Amino acid sequence: MTHTLQMTRRTMLTGAAVAGALTPIIMSTVAHADEEVASAEAVRKPGAAVDLSKIARERIELVKPPFVHAHTQKAEGGPKIKEFTLTIQEKKMVLDKEGTEINAMTFDGSVPGPLMVVHQDDYVELTLVNPDTNTMQHNIDFHAATGGLGGGALTVVNPGESTVLRFKATKAGVFVYHCAPPGMVPWHVTSGMNGAIMVLPREGLTDGRGKPIVYDKVYYVGEQDFYVPRDADGKFKKFGSPGEAYEETVAVMKTLLPTHIVFNGAVGALTGENAMTAKVGETVLIVHSQANRDTRPHLIGGHGEYVWATGKFLNAPDTDQETWFIPGGTAGAAIYTFKQPGIYAYVNHNLIEAFELGAAAHFKVTGDWNDDLMTSIRAPSAT
């Protein structure tokens, strides 16, 4: 207990400027410490150890969203132990062209963190690293996992520490993961510390009636709400560290009014030169997560031909959706085969959030135009 409290004082919030913010965090840590120890011990001593020595291992290198590491859509052979590493990075990020800053907390330096892909009944073995250059305590909660606060009870790491967690991926679908330290869950999540994992059925995706669904590309869109404090003149404030920003950021968070709602960490992160690409005839799987708020994805000029709005692949997908609803704390998935070239806007169809706060992306699609699907009979002109 003494060590935990000292680490909290030393690493989580520093400087006299955050003295007021420190009290609730320390009190929360003290209040929950005994519960965490009891919970962790319960999960560490469940009974006889599982012998996985004969199961094949596969080391996977993660990539920055919206891209996704190489993987097979159907499982090859029996279940495997899939090894991943996530390194926590606390870093400043610029949210928009005005230079608005956030003291972000991230997995592997990106918002969202990388998408991990495994198959149902595989084992996920994650090494979580919190470098000594960080100032905060962190952990990880996998919505795909069973037990121990989704792994949060077993993965609390102070700066300079690392831990290894293994869980069996028993449920097929796309699931959120996020940081969930005691007393500070919303602050870490809305500072960017979330991502997703995709657990594919071993036989691959189907339409719910046995017809296989195969995709040519997969993109991962992580929607993020940020809450940036303003000064007396209404300008966004900048802070030297997460700790310095804590008290005022939490005050903005409690209004439930985000200052920015963005895809992949910043306004314009997936538009223009950063647009996702496809060709006419290519089938694209879009994985979309929102760890905190509800969202309504919509592909302008296209459709969700198959949609798992709550992301669970053993449920039959909805078909031919114009807009789909993903509850906060959930990842969803949608399939579309592009049929026309051009720029497709992919937005949160709360249009205020899309056009005013930043929740928009682009697909840049190349290929031949099909007049049968759409054509201009008469160009706009004076009548």
Residue of 119, 138, 303, 362 marked active site: 138
Q: How does strand 304-308 pair with strand 318-321?
A: antiparallel
Does residue 90 have an active-site annotation? no
Residue of 36, 125, 141, 244 marked active site: 141
Q: Cβ–Cβ contacts within 10 Å for residue 211, how many?
A: 9
Does residue 178 have an active-site annotation? yes
Does residue 193 have an active-site annotation? yes
> Is the separation of the CB atoms in 323 and 349 below 8 Å?
yes
Please tell me the distance from the alpha carbon of residue 171 to that of residue 236, in angstroms, as a whole number: 42
Does residue 136 have an active-site annotation? no
> Is the separation of the CB atoms in 217 and 240 below 8 Å?
no
Does residue 179 have an active-site annotation? yes
Residue of 23, 322, 356, 374 marked active site: 322
Residue of 119, 178, 288, 303 marked active site: 178
Does residue 69 have an active-site annotation? no
Residue of 193, 198, 253, 276 marked active site: 193
Does residue 155 have an active-site annotation? no
Does residue 283 have an active-site annotation? no
Residue of 119, 188, 288, 362 marked active site: 188
> Is the separation of the CB atoms in 153 and 43 below 8 Å?
yes
Does residue 101 have an active-site annotation? no
241 alpha carbon, distance to own chain's centre: 23
Residue type, 174: V
Does residue 322 have an active-site annotation? yes
- Beta bridge partners, 219, equal 286
Residue of 116, 125, 143, 362 marked active site: 143
Q: Which two tokens stand for residue 171?
A: 């449920």
Does residue 119 have an active-site annotation? no
Residue of 85, 87, 323, 337 marked active site: 323
Preceding omega of 65 cis (within 30 degrees of 0):
no
Residue of 32, 69, 71, 349 marked active site: 349
Residue the block writes with tokens 């000029």: 301
> Is the separation of the CB atoms in 18 and 243 below 8 Å?
yes
Residue of 136, 179, 184, 253 marked active site: 179
Known catalytic residues are: 138, 141, 143, 178-179, 188, 193, 298, 322-323, 349
